[in-house]
Structure 1
Amino acid sequence: MRRADMQICMDWRSVTFDWNRARAFLVTAEEGSLSAAARALKLAQPTLGRQVEALEAELGVALFERSGRGLRLTPAGHDLLEHARMMGEGARALSLAAWGQTEALEGEVAISASDAYASYLLPPILDRLHRAEPRIRIEVVVSNALSDLSRREADIAVRNVRPTEPDLIWRRVRDAQARLYAAPGYLDRLGRPEAAESFSAAEFIEIDASGSLMGLLNAKGFSLDEGNFPYRCRSFTVMWEMVRQGMGIGILDDRIGDADPSVERAVPGFAPIDFPVWIVAHRDIARSRRLRVVFDALVEGFGA
């Protein structure tokens, strides 16, 4: 090895760098404030602030300046931000690669699913899995939003939209059907109408903040306005409990609705709404035997 190359190698080995400080800088820059970054990293704000200050002292530059609404990157902070992002991607790639190497059928696997699937369809699948592989521990991440698998918000996700991220693998396990349901007593009070146009006096429970259910139903022959939607929530399980208590009509996967004896199909002739069910995982961690076992169990359970 040439003397110059040896010097470069020695200089590299002498560098000490704390990734936690770089991560504190990166997340603070992305979130725009120390308080938001502390919540994202689950750290106390003073701890996070000390990490950022320590990085500034270590590098000998100011990374942030205070503005009226939070923190603003200095020119030096802007120059270093992309390097911090590259470090973050490298750290995630290292973690994913290490996670994917294990062949042991033990350890934790995080599964992301909507609250409806997590409450009603996932438990029997997990019970069978636990009986077969008792050393695998499952964390259920309940979210009606799409979990970011690349950032390890979950290892495997149950989704109803086709994945588009290039670093994911997936299986389309079935085409599910959503139907309208109500409690028998509620339908009795309505006079048990049968045609879609006869539900002008009915109450529906909206599950989407955009009001998409009204447009979807009107496209199928209903004649509804905002007065037909006195309730809105963002939880399928809360919506379902409201339906069961006779507060209105809701829409849900018919594997859940048809299995519940406290409700019945609200509109006999209503054509179901088809939607896909996908099981999704990151392609790197899919090399793990533990992940494959859980992935396959979800494919079998949701596809049955």
Structure 2
Amino acid sequence: MNTPFDWNLVRSFLAALDHGSLLGAARVLGASQPTLGRHIEALEAQLGAVLFERTGRGLVPTATALRLAESARQMESGAEQLARQLASADADETGTVRISASQPLACFLLPAVLSQMRLALPQVQVELVASDAVSNLLRRDADIALRMVPPEQASLVARRIGKVTLGAYAHRDYLARHGKPRELADLLQHDVIAGDRNEDVLFGYRQSGLTVGKEAFSLRSDDLVVQWQAVRAGLGVGFIADFVAATDANVLPVLPLLKIPPIPMWLVVHREIRSNRRIRAVYDFLARSVPRAL
């Protein structure tokens, strides 16, 4: 194989392997689907082997692809470590910091915090990734992440900075039409907004002795912003973070005796990147400001 090695081909190979399609890989890498296809074909030509079977349902890795995956991931890990070391050597506070947070945090809590940070750190630009998926800091999906679960990787540093409290809420117009529920069992006579694939509310019902199925919920969505907007529109009772509910005075708490366990919040950064002055400045600002906003 005399062709000069191109690391981008390996990145595309791993993305296709992880996501099972050229479309999914292209979205993750920020490239076009045809570009990813050319990368896979070029790598197959260099190796003289087929790496994926093309099917109507996506890409199926061959035995050769699975054998190469471990070595490719070691290369990826080395490249990521080099990138982190280069970033750590950057002593300039001017530039961009990429922050990942869940949709409710990104939509309802962080804007005010980032407005304050803009005054304190005007030299820093922010890329805000609003996603309920857990960003991979090892792969630099983000520089800093606000998570509801602590990381498992030893190379990540996590600081518990607060907790998200939740409650049952409904719009005052809904309550005027249907009355105010006093206890959890009353919700069986109400319109309830909850998750679809996420069954946390369903599990809570069952722990309280209420044996119901998803049909007990008049609106189901795994998008927490959709749930909030449905509550605001008067569609029913929903289980909402208190910091979100506080943004609309027409949304009122119900079930005052219901105790929902709070969710801890973690501020996470890669250990090596903490030596980067720009990321460290943003990390410290968020550690001070986010707890006050909760």
Identify whether the pair has TM-score above 0.5, normalized to the shorter chain.
yes
- Structure 2 residue runs of 5 or longer lacking an equivalent are none
Give the residue type in structure 1 aligned to 2:282.
Answer: V
Contact 2:44/2:51, CA 8 A, preserved across alignment:
no
Contact 1:115/1:143, CA 8 A, preserved across alignment:
yes
> 1:57 Cα deviation (Å)?
4.2
Contact 1:205/1:239, CA 8 A, preserved across alignment:
yes
> 1:74 Cα deviation (Å)?
5.7
Give the residue type in structure 2 aligned to 1:213.
Answer: V
> 1:84 Cα deviation (Å)?
2.2
| Counterpart for residue 72 of structure 2 | 84
* Aligned pair partner of 1:187 in 159, 175, 186: 175
Contact 2:184/2:258, CA 8 A, preserved across alignment:
yes
Distance of 2:30 and 2:254 partners within structure 1: 45
Question: Aligned-pair RMSD on alpha carbons?
Answer: 2.5
> 1:196 Cα deviation (Å)?
2.8
Contact 1:158/1:277, CA 8 A, preserved across alignment:
yes
* Aligned pair partner of 2:12 in 24, 36, 43: 24
The structure that has the greater radius of gyration is 1
> 1:188 Cα deviation (Å)?
2.2
- 1:146-179 Cα shifts (integer Å, max 9, x gaps): 1111111111111112222212111111133111
| Counterpart for residue 51 of structure 1 | 39
* Aligned pair partner of 2:254 in 261, 266, 270: 266
Give the residue type in structure 2 aligned to 1:245.
Answer: A
- 1:235-257 Cα shifts (integer Å, max 9, x gaps): 22211111011101111221222
> 1:108 Cα deviation (Å)?
1.0
Contact 2:192/2:236, CA 8 A, preserved across alignment:
yes
> 1:208 Cα deviation (Å)?
4.9
Distance of 1:77 and 1:199 partners within structure 2: 52
> 1:56 Cα deviation (Å)?
4.1
Give the residue type in structure 1 aligned to 2:177.
Answer: R
- 1:184-222 Cα shifts (integer Å, max 9, x gaps): 121222222323333321111113523220221443476
* Aligned pair partner of 2:152 in 141, 149, 164: 164
Number of residue pairs the alignment of both structures matches: 290
- 1:88-143 Cα shifts (integer Å, max 9, x gaps): 11111111111122121111111111111111110111011111111111111011
Distance of 2:120 and 2:268 partners within structure 1: 22
* Aligned pair partner of 2:131 in 116, 134, 143: 143
- 1:251-286 Cα shifts (integer Å, max 9, x gaps): 122122234202110122222432211111111212
Deviates further, 217-226 or 228-237: 217-226
Residues 94-173 of structure 1 mapped to structure 2, 5 A cutoff = 94-173=82-161
Distance of 1:66 and 1:145 partners within structure 2: 28
Taking structure 2 as the reference length, what is the TM-score of the superposition? Answer: 0.87
Give the residue type in structure 2 aligned to 1:53.
Answer: E
The answer to whether the aligner puts 1:62 opposite 2:49 as a matched pair is: yes
- 1:8-35 Cα shifts (integer Å, max 9, x gaps): xxxxxx9942212232333334444444
> 1:231 Cα deviation (Å)?
0.6
Give the residue type in structure 1 aligned to 2:261.
Answer: I
Paired residue secondary structure (1:150): helix
Contact 1:200/1:223, CA 8 A, preserved across alignment:
no
Distance of 2:98 and 2:120 partners within structure 1: 18
Give the residue type in structure 1 aligned to 2:93.
Answer: L
Distance of 2:53 and 2:214 partners within structure 1: 45
Distance of 2:59 and 2:220 partners within structure 1: 36
Contact 1:147/1:153, CA 8 A, preserved across alignment:
yes
Contact 1:179/1:273, CA 8 A, preserved across alignment:
no
Contact 1:62/1:74, CA 8 A, preserved across alignment:
no
Taking structure 1 as the reference length, what is the TM-score of the superposition? Answer: 0.85
| Counterpart for residue 204 of structure 1 | 192
Contact 2:165/2:263, CA 8 A, preserved across alignment:
yes
> 1:71 Cα deviation (Å)?
5.1
The answer to whether the aligner puts 1:41 opposite 2:29 as a matched pair is: yes
- Structure 1 residue runs of 5 or longer lacking an equivalent are 1-13
Runs of 4+ off more than 6 Å? none
